[in-house]
Structure 1
Amino acid sequence: MTSSSSPVDVLVIGAGVTGLHQLMGALDAGLSVKVLEAGHGVGGTWYWNRYPGARFDSESWTYGFLSEEIWREWNWKEQYAGQPEIEEYFNFAVDRLDLRRHIEFGAKVVSVVWDDASCTHTVTTEGGASYNTRFVVAASGNLSVPFIPEIPGRADFRGDQHHTGRWPDGVDLTGKRVAQIGTGSSGVQIVPAVKDQVAQITVYQMNADWVTPLNNGPLSEEERARIQRDYEEIVAVLNNSPSGFEHRSEGLSSTDHDLEQRRAFFEKTWNSRGFRKLTENYIDLTTNPEINREWCEFIADKIRTIVKDPVIAARLTPTDGGYGGRRPPFGTGYYEAYNNPNVDLVSLQETPIVRITPDGIETTEGHREFDVIIWATGWDFGTGALNRLGVRGRDGLALEDHWKSGPLSYLGIMTHGFPNFFFPGGPHGSTGNNPRYSGDQVAWTTQVIVHAREQGVGAVEATEAAEQQWTGRMNESKGLFLESSYFHGANIPGKPVAQLLNPTGRWAMQEVMREDAAAGYPALLMTGQESGQPSAAQGGADDVAGAVRNAIGAHTQAQDAGDAERIASLYLPDAVLALPGSEPLVGLEALRQAFLGWAPTAPQKHLVGNTVVTQVSDDEAHAVSDVVFFQRGESGWSVQVTGRYEDTLRRTADGWRFGRRDVQYTA
């Protein structure tokens, strides 16, 4: 094993759009940064996905970087750029901003291990290189772990087989008999792109999706001029748009139109570009089952009109959910491709695959011979890449164990028990144009890292209460997509079905970010001391309010965990604890015995917030906080009592410690 030459402030995993955003943000903040990228080029998803027809379905200029320097010097050719142009763009941006020297390619991360004593991570690659860093930002992406189903005989196939997400250079399909398994976004792009090249392509479809036209085209000179002229306005829209797109809904409800007007509106929507079919459709499309059904019937009519074979048309028409239940694919000539005699469709609902043979695929209907199999079977979305990084947090806790029932996060960026570990662009972060959501997360991540450095804090992590609150919001907000979709992990055998997106939307995430920052990050536990600097948690920084809130957060965390010794360690020897209806407890031993005696018959949690800190002197502060106690019963969590904490804390060599806590119940 070899060690890198010197430690860095921030180590970023992944050189896709989120990782490059984080590299730019950290450098702008004056931090030292190293990026480790498993591939041999930049672009992430757009480096690995080289299959025929691969392209954006977000408008090109809305997906990339919002840096004016890059914006002014790059002109997109198409509304929705194809993979070669996308990869060219990322390489241009990296070289124009002189970022490549910070990136190490061919460096697949296999281990990220936290050390409490030094408040650092050791990151190890598959090649044996190791790196020491204080902060790790895992920008490993949601669409980076290809999924291929376990089908008997797959290893025995003598022809070529490729997953769309690991498509190699130089694949020649000319004159080949091709099987494509899967009809999600990638599969919908491939079929029309190769139909005129192959001898035969047989598409194996598990579930039909509501495919609508992308309506791509070249950007006109007028459109390019508008994009350059209106840079500031466009960026303002993208920074504040709930979807992250430059789309502007008219705010129409289906009740604003009669049936004939709705048909005309649907025709206009069908001819609109990309995701506008969701963002600029009727505002009640996803909440009104009747109008969603009417839109689906409109699409079904289109399918029957376009596809000449009524049997194929019926197979291409979904029967298991409305529009938006799964990620909507956008095609270019997809339905039309099935009118070609060399394009066939097999329904795996009707005739499942039995096995892969050395020369083809056998279904319950019979056997077909192929030269090539394309696996357009999707991804281990959300947690797949993160759970494969070998991340170990406090006390050796494995991330995959912490998330064994589904992801737990705060803002889709941090998880409790894993200090100085951030994962923007991961689970619980996005529902829309991903770079805009992850861009918000990168900005917040950078802000937190800078704050920790300025305060001399060694370790930053989400409190358990903040993690539970955010994860609860994600799970309770059902959102648009079916639980059978890959956005809930349902496509991966054995994976827990759990929310992997942020169904509450971008505005809700931005609001929590603003409120947390304005209040001094009460949702974060900041502890320890950065080497060579005084720690706010230890009283060496001017942010007394932040340090006091951190102490209160540590108390809350320890109390919820039932850790009596840890709670006691936060009090002074002569501390006083005043509880309603009883004599005050005086002295550390009395408090410790009381903490040991608190053993509720049912699990309890409490949420502390709205903390107001008043600095009495250099070494003393007073804090008043609202508190809500929760208890879990057979029907779930419920409010047990609400109240208020009044705390007096004093600065010591070991940080701020409680001299007195008065507990009051208000309801």
Structure 2
Amino acid sequence: MSTSAVGLTTAQPQNREVDAVVIGAGFGGLYMAHQLREMGLTVQGYESAPDVGGTWYWNRYPGARTDCEGYYYCYSFDPEMLQQWNWTERYPTQPEMQSYFGYVADKFDLRRSYRFGTRVESAVFDENTDRWQVRTETGEQTSAIYLITAVGILSAPNLPNFPGIESFTGPAYHTAYWPEEGVELAGKRVGIIGTGSTGVQAIPMIAEQAEHLTVFQRTPNYVIPARNRPVSQEEMDEIKTRYDEVWAKVRRHWFSFPFDMANMLAGSMEENERTRIYEKAWANGGFPFLFSFDDLLFDPVANESAAEFVRGKIRETVEDPAVADLLSPRYPFGAKRPPSGTGYYEAFNRDNVSLLDVAANAITEITPRGVRLTDGTEHEVDVLVFATGFDASTGAMTRMNIVGRDGVVLADKWAEGPNTHLGISTHGFPNMFMITGPQSPFTNIPPCAQNTADWIAEAITHLRREGASRMEATEAAEQAWTEQITAIAEQTLLTAGKDVHSWFTGTNVEGKAAVINVFFGGADKYMDICEQVAADNYSGFEITTTEPAYAN
């Protein structure tokens, strides 16, 4: 953290009134603060991390990097910034992402709008003043007309409530809170619990350092090779000449990628040709493998062809057939977010790596010396790593004490699952807007977060112009949106498989309501819907006008 960031953090007043409070300093929050300031509004931002970056500040675990390519996992709103910034790897590491956020914050002087190292404890809507009263854990209080949450989809760590977890005598780490100085693992017996996207990145790196690594796997994953590599200056220069084309394609893509859709169906293609296309996508690597064909998420036959192709690659790579079988998923490809990895399956060929199936032989407790399973075996380790993912979509919101009209607590309202309109607003919480909130798209986050922030900025401009004191989703609109995202999800294979523990449905968190948390209709369609809602004079929102119209 820079000296300037420290100074600006401590210089902020303890109690104040502002136009807007923004919670979070990741992709959504930083851009939202910038937009609001450009509109002439006063802004107070809060970020629990010591500096900008949001999730990317915290995720410092070994191997942490993006699974979208850097040149489109970024902001697009400033042409100069696009020309100035150079990505050095195809999939940027956490340090490179942190440098990028620092560059953006410096370019637009955004740190001065934030209190860092400050966690919001509560946000309560005052119906008498139509203002949000925001209180931090340090006791600071801020009153704002608008409350904008940009807390991220994957930012609230999930630590399962294993019996005896406090008894472990060695060091234990959740990957979302990895120490900045790193962890010395050489010569240590390490146990890692979890094989989601984080575990997939961390396991090969830890295996290279540890004396022995024991992997506790509940659900295997379809891991696509990342094919990471350095990006030359010549390649970056070429990309910069076609950024207009890049962002035009991003805007029209289901997942906000700068590629054309395949316009091919795996279910009706001859097997040899289909395999050739899979091989080409596998060689290219990365998340776009999911879009090799347009029917993989809808047609069971097509999906099984992709699933079996990946299982074949696992069998080719992993030397022990029994281990390869344990690593091979049997649920539909895509029902869990398919991660990109480097050397993941190869790591299980190492003599110092063991794989344990805790779906068949569950973890019963954490002991002072390690992990005990149902069969009574105790696996001793010196270091425990929890790669157990996140309480996704809703977790970061419900962990704050957000109270709307009539004293309704958001966590209570969403106890049986979130209800929103567009993933942006929820009934009973006036003037609260969410960036990448529950029921927003599963997509490449930066373009969608930027688009949503633009939508919110335009909505606030509309409110001020109309002299409106409140904007709030109607119950009918949020019910319709919830029904729509559920109906869309049920047309896909993404929610198939009762035994799949996926954050798409909240089933990765014990006791959480098993409902659809994500809009699966495509980022392009989502943006179209949002634009149409605005064009229809914000249909699905109740707008209350109690003041003279704002002149500007």
Same fold (TM over 0.5): yes
From 369, 373, 377, the counterpart of 2:384:
373
- 2:351 is the alignment partner of 1:341: yes
| Aligned equivalents of 2:134, 2:260: Cα separation in 1 | 44
Name 2:8's counterpart in structure 1. Answer: none
* CA displacement at 1:287 relative to structure 2: 1.7
| C-alpha distance after superposition, 1:240-269 (max 9, x if no partner) | 333111122331122663221122111112
Q: Does 1:244 align with 2:249?
A: no
Query: 1 CA distance for matches of 2:493 and 2:332?
Result: 10
Find out whether 1:481 has 2:494 as its counterpart: yes
Q: Distance in 1 between matches of 2:361 and 2:341?
A: 25
AA aligned to 2:258 is E
CA distance in 2, matches of 1:521, 1:228: 36
SS at match of 2:279: helix
How many angstroms does 1:5 deviate by?
A: 4.9
Name the CA distance, whole Å, in 2 between partners of 1:338 and 1:262.
29
Alpha-carbon separation, structure 2, partners of 1:455 and 1:350: 60
What secondary structure is seen at the aligned counterpart in 2 of 1:414? coil
Q: Aligned with 1:235: secondary structure?
A: helix
CA distance in 2, matches of 1:233, 1:260: 33
Amino acid at match of 1:230: R
Q: How does 1:311-330 map to 2 (within 5 A)?
A: 311-319=322-330, 321-330=331-340
- 3-state SS of the aligned residue for 1:134? strand
Moved over 6 A (4+): none
User: Matched residue of 1:107: which SS?
Assistant: coil
Quote the Cα distance in structure 1 between the aligned partners of 2:15 and 2:160. 42
Look up the match of 1:639. none
| Residue segments in structure 2 that go unaligned for 5+ positions in a row | 1-11
Deviation per residue, 1:307-362 (Å, 9 max, x gap) = 1111111110112x121111001110101111110011001123222221111112
Q: Which structure shows the bigger proportion of residues in strand conformation?
A: 1
Distance change (3 Å), C-alpha of 1:93 and 1:3: closer
Deviation per CA, 1:141-194: give whole Å up to 9, x if none. Answer: 111111111111110001011111111122111211100000000000011112
TM superposition shift of 1:411: 0.7
Q: Counterpart of 1:107?
A: 118
Q: Which residue pairs with 1:42 in the alignment?
A: 52
- Rounded to whole Å, the distance in 1 between the matches of 2:406 and 2:360 is 50
Paired residue for 2:83, among 67, 72, 90?
Answer: 72
Q: Is contact 1:429-1:437 (8 Å) kept?
A: no
TM-score with structure 1 setting the length: 0.77
Asked if the contact 1:429–1:438 (Cα under 8 Å) also holds between the matched residues in 2, the reply is no
How far has the Cα of 1:511 moved from its partner?
A: 2.4
Q: Tell me the percent identity.
A: 39
Offset of residue 535 of structure 1: 5.2
Judge conservation of contact 1:458–1:535 (CA < 8 Å) in 2. no
Number of residue pairs matched by the alignment: 532
- Distance in 2, Cα, partners of 1:210 & 1:88: 30
Distance 1:50 1:121, change over 3 A: same
Q: How does 1:98-177 map to 2 (within 5 A)?
A: 98-170=109-181, 171-177=183-189
Match in the other structure for 1:647: none
**Aligned 1:57-456 pairs, distance under 5 A:** 57-66=67-76, 67-170=78-181, 171-254=183-266, 257-279=269-291, 281-319=292-330, 321-363=331-373, 364=375, 366-456=377-467
Give CA-to-partner distance per residue, 1:461-501, whole Å, 9 cap, x none. Answer: 11222111112111222244226411111122221111111
SS at match of 1:504: coil
| Aligned-partner Cα distance in 1 for 2:367–2:125 | 46
Local SS of the residue matching 1:454? helix
1:221 is displaced (CA, Å) by 3.2
**Separation in 2, partners of 1:20, 1:480:** 35
- Do the aligned residues in 1 keep the contact of 2:287 with 2:339 (CA within 8 Å)? no
| Aligned equivalent of 1:56 | 66
Q: Pick from 517, 542, 547 the counterpart of residue 534 of structure 2.
A: 517
Per-residue Cα deviation, 1:399-448 (whole angstroms, up to 9, x for no partner): 11221211111110000111000111111112210122222211111111
C-alpha separation in 2, matches of 1:248 and 1:365 = 52
- Partner residue of 2:9? none
Question: In the alignment, what sits opposite 1:629?
Answer: none
Larger relative contact order (CA 8 Å, sep ≥ 6) = 2
Moved more, 42-51 or 211-220: 211-220
2:518 to 480, 501, 504: 501
Task: Give 1:6 deviation, angstroms.
Answer: 3.4
| Separation in structure 2 between the aligned mates of residue 404 and residue 162 of structure 1, nearest angstrom | 28
Structure 1 residues 5 and 107: alpha-carbon distance in aligned structure 2, compared to 1, 3 A threshold? same
Question: In 1, distance between residues paired with 2:106 and 2:495?
Answer: 41
User: Partners of 1:382 and 1:480 in 2: how far apart?
Assistant: 20
| AA in 1 matched with 2:529 | V
Q: Which whole-Å deviations, capped at 9, do the CAs of 1:201-225 have from their partners, x for residues lacking one? A: 1000001111121111111333211
Give SS of 1:327's match.
coil
RMSD: 1.7
Spell out, residue by residue over 1:489-543, the C-alpha distance to the aligned partner (whole angstroms, 9 max, x if none).
Answer: 11222211111111122233222222222222232211153xxx5159xxxx99x
CA contact (8 A) 1:57 1:275 kept: yes
- Check conservation: 2:17, 2:144, Cα contact below 8 A: yes
Deviation at 1:28, TM superposition (A): 2.1
> Residue in 1 aligned with 2:5?
none
Partner amino acid, structure 2, of 1:104: R
Structure 1 position 25, deviation (Å): 1.6
The runs of 5 or more residues in structure 1 that have no matched partner are 543-667
Give SS of 1:110's match: strand
TM-score (norm 2): 0.93
- The Cα of 1:35 is off from its aligned counterpart by 0.8
Would you say the 8 A contact 2:300–2:493 is kept in 1?
A: no
Asked whether the 8 Å contact 2:75–2:450 carries over to 1, the reply is: no
Q: Distance in 1 between matches of 2:400 and 2:172?
A: 26
User: Paired residue for 1:586?
Assistant: none
The alpha carbon displacement at 1:82 in A equals: 0.6
CA contact (8 A) 1:50 1:167 kept: yes
Bigger-Rg structure (1/2): 1
SS in 2 for 1:202: strand
Q: CA deviation at 1:29?
A: 1.9
CA contact (8 A) 1:27 1:33 kept: yes
| Counterparts of 1:310 and 1:156, CA distance in 2 | 36
Does 335-344 or 292-301 show the bigger shift? 292-301
Residue in structure 2 matched with residue 606 of structure 1 by the alignment: none
Report whether the alignment pairs 1:527 with 2:544.
yes
Cα distance in 1 for partners of 2:139, 2:268 equals: 63
Quote the Cα distance in structure 1 between the aligned partners of 2:15 and 2:30: 22
* SS of equivalent residue, structure 2 residue 115: strand
- Distance, in Å, in 1 between the alignment partners of 2:364 and 2:531 is 54
Distance 2:87 2:337 in 1: 25
SS at match of 2:45: strand
Letter in 2 for 1:33: V
- The answer (yes or no) to whether the contact 1:3–1:130 under 8 Å persists in 2 is no
SS state at 2:209 partner: coil
